[in-house]
Amino acid sequence: MALTAYDLTDRIAFITGAASGIGRASAVLLAQAGATVHCADRDEPGLDETRALITKAGGTAHVHPLDVADRAQVKAAVEAAGPVHVLAAIAGVMHTSSVLDTEDADLDRVLWVNFKGVLHACQEAARTMIAHGIRGSLITMASGAVDSARPGLFCYSVSKAAVVQLTRTLASELGPHGIRVNAVAPGWVRTPMTDRHAAGQQEQLESAMRRLSPLAKLGDPEDIAHTVLHLAADASAFTTGQILRPNGGVSMPW
């Protein structure tokens, strides 16, 4: 008997942050599972590359250049995508500074993208799901940073902690509509964003993460994308309000 629990044929997926990293890997994988994928990001050349990868593999992709911090842009793109079955709100930014050195503008920028950007996408996708009677899946992107306090990651950690609480609250509110809401909290994964954050210390950081992982390895964007696929598909039909942690065992919270 064919395994159909991960078949997304005839479903529409909307993915933010799809121009690179985890967002791109997730867009490609969901398209391989049969979904029509709508890719959103500020990086237009990156979006075109993602679409080309999906099209070359025989999938269907559409691109939406936008800033997730702008609610009007997100609303217009979600409406253009049609009745969305799956949302993966993956777009994010990082900022490095101590708490005492953090400026209001730094915190505002990170919160606008990492928290409000997720909020905008979830609100608009949930509204279209409810309007069309779709028992869909909202997937947010948290981080392993919510389980520890790392110097210099104050803005990022606070924004991801807010995403976790948003996820739990939405799961409670949207459950009666048959809509599942879950978060993914990856460990350290090498992406263009983490490369910029590492600023020449990539090898040291990766070595440290390998030592901390019982598997002695780092994650790839594709590892996280498989968690996104699980939450997008019927295989996770009884899962909501949860924080899934594909992190190689670096963190094992109760």
Segment 17-34 mean pLDDT: 97
Do residues 24 and 18 make contact, with C-beta atoms less than 8 angstroms apart?
A: yes
210 pLDDT band, cuts 50/70/90, is confident
Q: Tell which residue, 223, 218, 185, 181, has the closest CA to residue 92.
A: 185
Q: Report d(CA 27, CA 16) in Å as an integer.
A: 9
Tokens of 242: 């949860």
The answer to whether 156 is a known catalytic residue is yes
Mean pLDDT lowest among 25-34, 86-95, 195-204: 195-204
Domains and CATH numbers, the chain: 12-244 (3.40.50.720)
Amino acid at site 199: A
1 pLDDT band, cuts 50/70/90, is very low
Percent with pLDDT over 70 in the chain: 94
* Among 47, 156, 170, 230, the one annotated catalytic: 156
pLDDT of residue 58: 97
Q: Report d(CA 59, CA 78) in Å as an integer.
A: 20
Percent with pLDDT over 90 in the chain: 78
| Cα first-last separation, the chain | 36
Tokens of 68: 């997730």
User: Would you give the DSSP letter of residue 219?
Assistant: B
Do residues 241 and 168 make contact, with C-beta atoms less than 8 angstroms apart?
A: yes
Q: What are the pLDDT digits (tens) for 115-161? A: 999 999 999 999 999 999 999 999 999 998 898 888 889 999 999 99
Element (H, E) at 242: none
Q: Would you say residue 82 has pLDDT above 80?
A: yes
Q: Report d(CA 95, CA 75) in Å as an integer.
A: 27
pLDDT of residue 3: 67
Q: Would you say residue 6 has pLDDT above 90?
A: yes
Beta strands in 17-96 (DSSP E): 36-41, 60-65, 86-89
Element (H, E) at 201: none
Do residues 157 and 94 make contact, with C-beta atoms less than 8 angstroms apart?
A: no
Do residues 101 and 161 make contact, with C-beta atoms less than 8 angstroms apart?
A: no
Q: Report d(CA 26, CA 157) in Å as an integer.
A: 22
Residues 6+ apart with CB under 8 A from 60: 31, 36, 37, 54
pLDDT of residue 254: 79
Residues 6+ apart with CB under 8 A from 207: none
Residue of 150 and 167 predicted with greater confidence = 167
Do residues 26 and 228 make contact, with C-beta atoms less than 8 angstroms apart?
A: yes
